[in-house]
Structure 1
Amino acid sequence: MAGTPAGTPERLLLVDDHPVVRTGCRRLLASAGPYEIMEADSGARALELCETEPPDAVILDLGLPDIGGLDLLDRLRRMSPDIRVLVFSMHEDAVFAARALEAGARGYVTKNDAPEELVAAVGTVLAGGIYLSRDMAREVAVMSFVPNRSPLQGLTARELRVLAELGQGSAIADIAEHLGVSYKTVSNTCTIMKTKLGARSIRDLIRIAVEHRVMP
């Protein structure tokens, strides 16, 4: 991605479907630097803006209504391999941070972190670095030395999305519609997840999703 010309405010794209979150982030970042801030409330809108008005960095929530956050991250990187994406998520499990970094994100901040963490993360990502809070960095590092520390660690991005939808009460047919795939594909994904997670039924998968607070 081409850099912003000297003297021009760096352009940020906030991608979150909650207006209150976007408003809070906009105010916080506006007070932290001379940023030009765009907003998108869906994955489709984010893709459109990244194509027509390429940002210097994207601040991305994983829980979007139309496209899974990790799926969107993959699409953004295919559109622009050098794009700088900072994930800003409610998920505090290190498995999500590890997944995001593996998918090409340049940082991961949770919505429960102090506001200063988001400001610092944006600055680091814009400067070309990678940002994790100290606690999250330690947990991600530990994961690399303790195989299967989290039962979610072995799931793919699609499997995590399906599990999250199950935890929200969605039926398999509804999940298939949301993901734009067949009923059989989602059913097969559930079968694979049951094997990976040691679950015997869809009810077990729902319990796992709720216990680990997996959100779409």
Structure 2
Amino acid sequence: MRILLVDDHAIVRTGLRKLLAMVSNAEILEAKTGRESLAIAKAQPLDMIILDLNLPELGGLELLSRLRQFGPAPILVLSMHSEPIYVTRALEAGAQGYMSKNASPDELLTAIRQVSGGGRYIEQEIAQALILQSAVPAASLAQLAPRDLEILRHLAAGRSLSEIAEALGLGYKTIANNCSLIKTKLGVTKTADLLRLALEAGVS
């Protein structure tokens, strides 16, 4: 097997590599940015991708959709975000599994085996949250594009438009225009209302 690990934290990639070495002799490739992962996926066939959502340059949800264009390799999301809106959007974008970074190594290995074998796996606690979540806030955000959701996440974290522009590698005017479009899509006029919807849906 050839597995690609996509995470901007070296310590996470190292931990995953050691964990995989315990159960498999797979060839492990690593990428710390979305653009690096796209270059690797384009250059060679992969058997599985383990993907973080919180990446520099290119958000994980947008990246997930692009990676699907390069082949059928199943994608397991491993993220610090366990909120239902992220899980739902990742699965809609083509992920076969979703795990939080708080999951136990044993459950992560179970997910890797199941997803690499063509199945699906969602961490048990996350699956329960999906069942219990209120559909109203999630429905409000369902119409947003991956980049919209990425900007909303930065806003909910208290970042200014300038800081968001720098984090995403975009111009200030582009971010400002996107924020205006997000407000229009969600039917609000104030940033405070925008943040309220984000928090209600668990975007953070």
**TM-score if structure 2 supplies the norm length?**
0.83
- Whether 1:70 and 2:58 are equivalent positions in the alignment is no
- Whether 1:19 and 2:10 are equivalent positions in the alignment is yes
2:135 corresponds to which of 147, 150, 158: 147
Q: Is there any run of 5+ residues in structure 2 with no aligned partner, and where?
A: none
Query: 1:1-216 counterparts in 2 under 5 A?
Result: 10-80=1-71, 82-143=72-133, 146-150=134-138, 153-154=141-142, 155-176=144-165, 179=168, 183-194=172-183, 196=186, 200-201=190-191, 205=195, 208=198, 212=202, 214=204
CA distance in structure 1 between the aligned counterparts of 2:115 and 2:20, rounded to whole angstroms: 14
Amino acid at match of 2:179: C
Amino acid at match of 2:99: V
Contact 1:199 1:205 in 2 (8 A): no
Amino acid at match of 1:165: H
Contact 2:5 2:50 in 1 (8 A): yes
Aligned length: 202
Amino acid at match of 2:84: A
**Displacement, 1:52?**
1.8
CA distance in structure 2 between the aligned counterparts of 1:72 and 1:150, rounded to whole angstroms: 21
Contact 1:92 1:110 in 2 (8 A): yes
Deviation per residue, 1:122-148 (Å, 9 max, x gap): 1111110111122222332445xx522
Contact 2:85 2:202 in 1 (8 A): no
CA distance in structure 1 between the aligned counterparts of 2:122 and 2:170, rounded to whole angstroms: 34
Task: Tell me how large the CA RMSD over aligned residues is.
Answer: 2.9
SS at match of 1:32: coil
Q: Is there any run of 5+ residues in structure 1 with no aligned partner, and where?
A: 1-9
SS at match of 1:12: strand
CA distance in structure 2 between the aligned counterparts of 1:21 and 1:29, rounded to whole angstroms: 12
Larger helix proportion, structure 1 or 2? 2
Provide closer, same or farther for how the CA distance between residues 33 and 152 of structure 1 changes in structure 2, counting only shifts above 3 A: farther
Provide closer, same or farther for how the CA distance between residues 191 and 92 of structure 1 changes in structure 2, counting only shifts above 3 A: same
Deviation per residue, 1:149-196 (Å, 9 max, x gap): 548743432221001223455443453465465544432332344463
Amino acid at match of 2:35: A
**Displacement, 1:51?**
1.7
SS at match of 1:148: helix
SS at match of 1:87: strand
Identity of aligned residues (%): 40
Contact 2:6 2:31 in 1 (8 A): yes
CA distance in structure 2 between the aligned counterparts of 1:175 and 1:86, rounded to whole angstroms: 27
Higher mean C-alpha displacement, 165-174 vs 120-129:
165-174
**TM-score if structure 1 supplies the norm length?**
0.79
